[in-house]
Structure 1
Amino acid sequence: MTNTNKRLTFSEYIRSILSILVFFLMLLLATPVILLLLIISFGKLSNVVVEHIAPLIVKPVFWVAGIDFKIKMHCEEIHYPAVYIINHSSTLDILTILALGLPKVRFVAKWQLQYNPIFFLLGRLTGQVFIRREKSDKAVETLKRNVDRIKEKGLTVMLAPEGSRKHPGIIGPFKKGPFRMAMDLNYPIVPIYFEGNRELSEGGFLFTHSGKATAHIHEPIPTDDWNLENIDGKIEEIRSLYLSWAGVTEQENLNFIKSTP
């Protein structure tokens, strides 16, 4: 297990500060273009924004931060519509999620991101879903309200089953919300494992080490035979895959929790 407490070098601090400035500058420059596209298309170009413009926004950010980001396919093609799930342990995940450019995807994000006026405006106009993670009942209600819209438009959804990046262990406990949503939509689950994000990021802000990060897109997992009786077992099976991709056993994961101050 890689030590994530390694201090940033002076040059990495400088690069991180510059990359944060570049990120918000790119957002400021892109926002008028995105608004124009959405207005003239009556919102129909939302997919273009997510699939093509978002990756362009983060590309120079990676370059400034010294991050070599790759996408590795472990399946023949990207399956959609689907419920994509990711491991979430770093603020860097925001950038790698945007860099994926997945087809017709909508993100389920924490409510607090809307406190940033740019995220609020772009998120609402492109149909992203904001939930209050600390209030599980309201989060589930929000997801249920969006099921019909998502299915009607054939959209794909991306969620983090661990909920917050602040979770115990290298791979935290999985919440049921993403999996219940997949059942309600009758969508397959597509696991995406971010390798390197946790090791590169220092925590809650976009201060990162330089290095490599890889998004591993895996084979879709059908949910046709899922029901309320077997869903807990299905969730644990998928979580065990994430543990294996992280290179730890459940016991090692528990030991890591105990050793973390």
Structure 2
Amino acid sequence: MAVIFSILVNQKVGSYIGGVLWSRLNAILTPMLVKVSGRENVNQMQSYVVVSNHQSVYDIFLIYGWLGIDIKWMMKKELRKIPGIGFGSQKVGHIFIDRSNSKRAFESINEAKRKLVNGTSVVIFPEGTRSQTGELGTFKRGAFKIAYDLNLPILPITLVDTKNILPTNTINILPGRVKMVIHEPIDIKLYSEKEPELLLEEVRRKVSSAISN
């Protein structure tokens, strides 16, 4: 749906409207009831590196449908070659990261800098995979290196109970209630790039603070 809207109108408006409609339609059909807190922490004209926990495939619907800003995803370069996924992702402006050598990695970051302006943000799951239990996993440093490379503030968000809608290792979709908590942005300039673990720990603390036990 986002691809169609991106072709019919411009890429930013098309990907945002298409993503919202696609996500909210899925929520209606599930059904999934959504509560959002912390919207006041989002500046619509500021681009962010959005850092989120990852519990379920439904995390994508929740972020697309309710975060309220245009977002892009950083994807491995290999996904560009997959029929349908590669074409569609390119049309809506997602960013393919190639870290096979320093020159290509530099080009990927420059592409991201061109796209992530005027409120268009990138979403990263620093755990790298979905949590099997819903508990917060270990954060990898890559997300925070990207934030320094892009010179963008980090917007931490917490997704709660999406694991109950579509549990890991099952295809059973269950109705339920979920929540998104949008935390205050973090200015990366307050943390030395030489000590990224301090920034990592602060972001993880914020994300963890809203996870249901």
Match of 1:149 among 111, 130, 133: 111
Which residue is 1:199 aligned to?
Answer: 164
CA distances 1:124-148 after superposition (whole Å, capped 9, x unpaired): 112212458xxxx549987643322
**Match among 47, 67, 73 for residue 32 of structure 2:** 67
Shift of 1:219: 0.9
CA distance in 1, matches of 2:80, 2:33: 29
Partner of 1:178: 143
User: Radius of gyration: which is bigger?
Assistant: 1
Cα distance between partner residues in 2 of 1:193 and 1:209: 20
Aligned to 1:97: 63
Quick one: structure 1 residues 215 and 141, their matched pair in 2 at CA, closer, same or farther if it must change by over 3 Å?
Answer: farther
Q: Tell me by how many angstroms 1:203 deviates.
A: 1.6
* TM-score, structure 2 normalization: 0.81
Task: Name the CA distance, whole Å, in 1 between partners of 2:32 and 2:197.
Answer: 37
What are the Cα deviations for residues 18-46 of structure 1, in whole angstroms up to 9, with x where unaligned?
A: xxxxxxxxx4xx64454343xxxxxxx11
Aligned residues: 209
Greater share of helix residues, 1 or 2? Answer: 1
Tell me how far 1:220 sits from its aligned partner. 0.5
Q: Corresponding residue for 1:256?
A: none
Q: TM-score, normalised by structure 1?
A: 0.68
Counterpart-to-counterpart distance in 2, 1:239 and 1:151: 25
Give the letter aligned to residue 35 of structure 1. I
Q: Displacement of 1:89 after TM fit?
A: 1.8
Give 1:205 shift: 6.1
Amino acid across the alignment from 2:30: A
Q: Which whole-Å CA distance do the structure 1 matches of 2:57 and 2:76 have between them?
A: 12
Name the structure 2 match of 1:35.
Answer: 7
In the TM superposition, residue 85 of structure 1 has moved relative to its aligned partner by: 0.8
Same amino acid, percent of matched pairs: 23
Aligned to 2:86: 120
SS in 1 for 2:210: helix
Equivalent residue for 2:175? 210
- Partner residue, 2:208: 243
Contact (CA 8 Å) 1:74, 1:219: kept in 2 or not? no
Q: Rate the CA distance shift 1:115–1:35 in 2: closer, same or farther, 3 A.
A: same
How far apart, in 2, do the equivalents of 1:243 and 1:148 lie?
Answer: 31
Letter in 2 for 1:68: L
Higher deviation after alignment, 139-148 or 48-57: 139-148
1:161 deviates by: 0.7
Q: 1:218 to 1:165 in 2, by over 3 A?
A: same
Residue identity opposite 1:89 in structure 2: Q
> 2: distance between equivalents of 1:47 and 1:106?
10
Distance 1:142 1:246 in 2: 37
